[in-house]
Structure 1
Amino acid sequence: MALDPLTAILDIGGKIIDKVFPDPVQRDAARLAMLQAQQRGELEEVNVRLSAIMAEAKSTDPWTSRARPSFLYVVYILILTAIPMGILSAFSAETAAAIAAGFKAWLASIPPDIVELFQWVMLGYIGGRSFEKVKGAAK
């Protein structure tokens, strides 16, 4: 039986609630709050976003299906540059500080809407992969 994203979200949310709230009364209150949110339709918005992202991830178009993983590699490279920057700061703290200041100014020039879009893309990517793993489709 295939799970829809909303069922997967509720299932994962229930498991998180079980771990976070050891007290049965608090656990039941948290589950009730989650079910009330579902009834108000708040979780439906997340379901719509996840379904769109999952459809995009299943695309046979190589540009579409590789976009998020490729962007992750760029982020990994940026994180890994901390190693040579640390070594550079040991030899020339001024140069390392100047590079860091320039990079900070460059990052500050990115519009907040783009940063928010990236956050949603990453949330969808992580959610989609988690859903695939719960469904048993991920390798």
Structure 2
Amino acid sequence: MPLLDSILGPVTRIIDKVIPDPEARDRAKLELLRLDNSQELEMLRASLSAIIAEAGSTDPWTSRARPSFLYVMYAMILWALPMGLISAVNPGTASAITSGITAYLSGIPEPLYALFGTGYLGYSAMRQWGKVKGSDR
């Protein structure tokens, strides 16, 4: 948790100055680290439980929503190949298709793009973390 990490250093320096007894100072620092670890563990547990619940869902849309969206994105990227051929044969038709797709994509609200990007990056980071830890394959 970045906020707690940024606070942890200054708080330990304050503990060093305020608590003169080395044993009491070490106990206070240890308790601070326990607090930090427990909060991070709870946040991680909460986010992982949501991902696991979605992946284990019997509803095909819920369990396959992310991969399905990737397939849509792949199809849109691969659509560039036939568009290149269409533009070589009939540039006017290619221009009309491009204008239509651009108008459609411009109609999607910006917060929806931001939400998708945030969710997708978070999902990708958690998947990578799971792979590093050995819990995901």
- Does residue 60 in structure 1 map to residue 30 in structure 2? no
Look up the SS of the partner of 1:138 in the other structure: coil
- Percent of paired sites with the same residue: 41
Q: Distance in 2 between matches of 1:87 and 1:60?
A: 42
Give yes or no for contact 1:59–1:65 (8 Å, CA) kept in 2: yes
| TM-aligned CA distance change 1:98 to 1:133, over 3 Å | same
For 1:15-54, list aligned pairs within 5 A: 35-36=5-6, 50-51=47-48, 54=51
Paired with 1:70 and 1:37, the residues of 2 have a C-alpha distance of: 41
* Aligned-residue CA RMSD (Å): 3.2
Which entry has the higher C-alpha Rg, 1 or 2?
A: 2
1:21 is aligned to none
Of residues 83-92 and 119-128 in structure 1, the stretch that sits farther from structure 2 once superposed is 119-128
Higher relative contact order (CA 8 A, sep 6+): 1
**Alignment match of 1:96 (pick from 94, 97, 110):** 94
Is 1:75 aligned to residue 73 of structure 2? yes
Q: In 2, Cα distance between the equivalents of 1:104 and 1:114?
A: 16
Report the alpha carbon displacement of residue 117 of structure 1 after superposing the two structures with TM.
1.4
Instruction: Read off the aligned partner of 1:116 and give its amino acid letter.
Output: A
Residue 123 of structure 1 corresponds to which residue in structure 2? Answer: 121
**CA separation of 1:94/1:54 partners in 2, compared to 1, >3 Å: closer, same or farther?**
same
So what's the TM-score if we normalise by structure 2?
0.62
Q: Secondary structure at the match of 1:123?
A: helix
Aligned to 2:28: none
Counterpart selection for 1:84 from 74, 82, 103: 82
Q: Structure 2, unaligned stretches of length 5 or more?
A: 10-35
Unaligned runs of at least 5 residues, structure 1: 1-5, 11-34
Task: Measure, in 2, the Cα distance between the counterparts of 1:89 and 1:48.
Answer: 51
How many equivalent pairs are there?
A: 105
TM-score (norm 1): 0.61
The Cα shift of 1:59 comes to: 2.9
